[in-house]
Amino acid sequence: MRIKDDKKQEALFLATIKLVNEIGFAASSVAKIAGEAGVSPATLYIYFRNKEDLLVSTYLAIKRDMSVAVLDGLDETQPVRDILHNIWLRMFAHISLNKAEFRYAEQFANSPFKQLVNIQEVHGYFAPLIRVIQRGIEQKIIKDVPFEILAAFMFHPVMTLANQKVCTDIELDSQDIEISFQLSWDAIKL
C-alpha cells in the first residue's frame, strides 16, 4: 500500500487534524475525514488499515514533526541550560504555529487510543533531549529527580502556555515567554 500518491496520505492527515479540531474526536467519522481530504472513504483504506491506524499514524506524524522542529541541528556541545533554553523556545514557537496539530495530539493523548502507540517509538524521537537532561543531572546542574517530574515542570507548562492563545484571549509577548522559561528553569535547576 501507499505506493502511489503521497499527497493523499498527507491530505488525510490534514483532514483528520482539521476535523478533530473543529468537531471533536467522537464526531470525526471516516466518511467526513475522507470527504474533507477529497477522496472516497474506500480510498482511505488503501492508505490505512482502519480508522484506528489513521488516528495513531496522525499522532505519530505530529510527534515526529515536533521532535524534528525542536531538536533538529541541536548542538549538544553547548551548555545544558542553553540547549534547554533553545529547545524550550523552539517548542513554544512550534506549538504556537501548529496549534491544530497540538490540540489533536492533546485529545489523542487523553484518550484510550494513547495505549495503542508504541511509547518507545515516541521516546526515540526525543532521545537527544533525554540525553541532555541526563547530562545536566550528572553535572549537578539539574535536580536529580525522575524524568517525569522534570518534564512536568519543564515542558508541560510550555504546551499549556503556547496553547492558551487558542483557548483564551490572553496574548503573551516575548518578555512573558522569557519569564516563563525562567520559571521552568528555576523549577528544575539545582
Partner DNA sequence: GATGAATGAGTGTTCATTCAT
Partner DNA sequence: CATGAATGAACACTCATTCAT
Which residues in this chain contact DNA in the complex, by CB under 7 A? 1-5, 8, 27-32, 39-47, 50-52
Q: How far is the CB of 27 from DNA (least distance, A)?
A: 6
Q: Which does 73 bind (CB under 5 to 8 A by kind): DNA, a copy of itself, none?
A: none
Q: Is 122 in the site for a copy of itself (CB under 8 A)?
A: no
C-alpha cell of residue 33: 475525514
Residue type present at position 184 = S
Q: How far is the CB of 79 from a copy of itself (least distance, A)?
A: 20
Interatomic CA distance for residues 34 and 70, integer angstroms: 31
9 and 39 Cβ atoms separated by less than 8 Å? no
Q: Which does 25 bind (CB under 5 to 8 A by kind): DNA, a copy of itself, none?
A: a copy of itself
33 and 16 Cβ atoms separated by less than 8 Å? yes
Q: Which does 30 bind (CB under 5 to 8 A by kind): DNA, a copy of itself, none?
A: DNA
Q: Which does 32 bind (CB under 5 to 8 A by kind): a copy of itself, DNA, none?
A: DNA
Site for a copy of itself in 9-38 (CB under 8 A): 22-27
Interatomic CA distance for residues 135 and 66, integer angstroms: 22
**Residues whose CB is less than 8 angstroms from the CB of residue 2 and which lie 6 or more positions away in sequence, other chains included:** 9, 46, 47
Interatomic CA distance for residues 32 and 44, integer angstroms: 11
Region of residue 78 (left: phi > 0; alpha: psi -120 to 50; beta: else): beta
Q: Is 50 in the site for a copy of itself (CB under 8 A)?
A: no
Site for a copy of itself in 70-109 (CB under 8 A): 103, 106-107
Interatomic CA distance for residues 140 and 189, integer angstroms: 9
Q: Residues in the site for a copy of itself, rule: CB under 8 A?
A: 1, 22-27, 42, 103, 106-107, 110-113, 143, 145-146, 148-149, 152-153, 156-157, 160-161, 164, 168, 170, 172, 176, 179-180, 183-184, 186-188
